[in-house]
Structure 1
């Protein structure tokens, strides 16, 4: 469904309700599409990724954090003292790709 900017401004609440209900609302300015208004799923991202088969549930419980840092918790330093960056793979990269 398309709506001119002027009508969107005048009836914003009703257009938001339509988007929330699942309709896709294309906002136009002088007949040219300029934006899209869609609802946002309320499901948790991790739940969605698990449902889609992109993540698997953990096989064990996560250990409790004690608050004390051990040498294993501190990242190694490269020459010159700069921290070594972690590999950009795994869940973090997947989340970045989804947010684009």
Structure 2
């Protein structure tokens, strides 16, 4: 059992990479997405943040080349924070969303 100080606030999601058994991603209310290598937990492999809204859920593509993230729901707020972001896994050093899809929540 290992414990790591991954985030400064409550964690929202932990997802294992579908291909790489040593890779996993965490998200938190602190507004960061962090990719980790289980073989070296001293620091994240990649870190994206601070995002406009904390990431609530994250899901990898079947091949692990991309992942999609959605923000923590904000009650009564309709803005660009209601988006689905698609990220390329190999390009997290240059953290830019590959696609941004706006979702209107009623």
TM-score bracket, normalised by the shorter chain, equals under 0.3
Structure richer in strand, relative to its length? 2
TM-score (structure 2 length as normaliser)? 0.19
Greater helix fraction, Structure 1 or Structure 2 = 1
Q: TM-score, normalised by structure 1?
A: 0.19
